[in-house]
Amino acid sequence: MPTLFMMDRNRIRREVRQRRQQMDEVERRHRSLALCAHLAESDLFRHARRIAFYLPNDGEPDLRPLIELAWSQDKHCYLPVVGARHSRRLWFLPYTPGTLLIPNRFGIPEPRHHRGERRFKPHGLDLVLMPLVAFDAAGHRLGMGGGYYDTTLAFLAHRRHWLRPRRVGTAFACQEVPALPSQPWDVPLDAVATEDGVRTFRP
């Protein structure tokens, strides 16, 4: 039987996803461009050389204008790659204008890769731009429920000094909620970027 905790998270996830999906394409594009502009001006982006992006799915903000800016500035861009079926770990592969993309098992495009191919670990990234379903003013993030980013970035809980990569959630302002139930393994955000600006959180 699901716990009250899980029911709360599932209810929030359902309601906020519906709120996001009701946005029309013109408005979503306009807000995505504003979000990208705010991130482009932030120190988090300007000082990063190796950045993990994502491609939009389920009505998420579209970061492709920011990716193109990063390419023009000779930054190294990466996209997440879902691991084996029973794994909850993400790997990252380089993303360039010529990268061939194929849908993963969730239908999300990711760089084509081959068994045994070297994959980039998150330890070497400067910045990870993370999709999310909901966030709150304390920097808590609610994702789609798979726990992929939390599992992949769990090593940060054991670091005290070299806190890379920085974690920035990207969302529309309508995805903020008053408070999110959290668990010890949830990876907190360093900042969140919306069409209203970039908000940083205290550790």
Tens digits of per-residue pLDDT, 27-67? 999 999 999 999 999 999 999 999 999 999 999 999 999 99
With cut-offs at 50, 70 and 90, classify the pLDDT of residue 119.
Answer: low
**What's the whole-number average pLDDT of the chain?**
88
With cut-offs at 50, 70 and 90, classify the pLDDT of residue 5.
Answer: very low
* Whether residue 153 has pLDDT greater than 70: yes
Query: What is the sign, positive or negative, of the torsion defined by CA atoms of 143, 176, 15, 184?
Result: positive
> Rounded to two decimals, what is the model's pTM?
0.90
With cut-offs at 50, 70 and 90, classify the pLDDT of residue 3.
Answer: very low
Alpha carbon 110 to its chain centroid, in Å, reads: 14
Under DSSP, the state recorded for 23 is S
Other beta carbons less than 10 A from residue 57's beta carbon = 12
Percent of the chain past pLDDT 90, that is, above it, reads 64
Tens digits of per-residue pLDDT, 85-115? 667 788 899 999 999 999 988 888 999 876 6
Task: Specify the number of domains making up the chain.
Answer: 1
pLDDT at site 123: 84
Alpha carbon 115 to its chain centroid, in Å, reads: 25
- CATH number of the domain that residue 188 is part of: 3.40.50.10420
User: Domain span at residue 185?
Assistant: 4-200
Under DSSP, the state recorded for 157 is G
Q: Distance (Å, rounded) from C-alpha 71 to C-alpha 64?
A: 11
